[in-house]
Amino acid sequence: MASENSSVSGVSGRYATALFELARDEKSVDAIKADLDRFDALLTDSADLKRLVRSPVFTADEQGKALASVLEKAGIGGTSAKFLAVLTANRRLFAVSDVIRSFRALVARFKGEATADVTVAEQLSDKNLDALKAALKSVTGKDVALNVTVDPSIIGGLVVKLGSRMVDSSLRTKLNSIKHAMKEAG
């Protein structure tokens, strides 16, 4: 399965593929995706959790105990919690964001959706996210799942990567092209 999608490869791809196949067999793909999305949101919002996940100074045992507490408070259990515990025990928790991204790609392909990576200068409202999804659906003919990243350095606009296509309408890129054109003219 991993060979079908170039975005699902390496260590994170193997873990994501194993989890996806288990979730599919258990008929719990949506529930596990929701748990992983919740964990990913916790990771985004908490510098302490990021440090726990990424820092090699914590032992697997320390990470496991702290993670168990976080998962319990977040209401994440079952297969999702066991999977995150396996990542921790195998000293691969640092790769959890890549695993989640790969898992999302597998789920999207399974459901016949496309996945787009979108970079914006500031968080989009639900209305704008829906409009973007609708625009991308009209181009692809498929439902599009969005992986949104906020990067203030693009100043404004957005960068959309969908499969092998990329559209960069960021203000930073436009300013750089104007700057380049002015250098050539001068």
Burial of 157 (0-12, 13-18, 19+ CB in 10 A): middle
* Mean pLDDT, the chain, integer: 89
How confident is the model at residue 76, as a pLDDT?
Answer: 94
Give yes or no for residue 157 having a pLDDT over 70.
yes
Q: Which CATH number fits domain 6-107: 1.10.540.10, 3.40.50.2300, 1.10.287.70, 1.10.520.20?
A: 1.10.520.20
Give start-end residues of each CATH 3.40.30 domain in the chain: 113-185
- pLDDT value of position 113: 84
Residue partners of 101: CB distance under 8 A and separation at least 6: 7, 12, 147
pTM: 0.69
Q: For residues 7-14, give the mean pLDDT.
A: 81
pLDDT tens column, 73-108: 999 999 999 999 999 999 999 999 999 989 988 998
Radius of gyration over every alpha carbon of the chain, rounded to an integer in angstroms:
19
Q: Does domain 113-185 have CATH number 1.10.3470?
A: no
Q: Looking at the chain, which residues constitute the CATH 1.10.520.20 domain(s)?
A: 6-107
How far the first Cα of the chain sits from its last, in Å, is 54
What local confidence, expressed as pLDDT, does residue 4 receive? Answer: 41
Percent of the chain with pLDDT over 70: 96
pLDDT score of 7: 54
Mean pLDDT of the region 7-24: 89
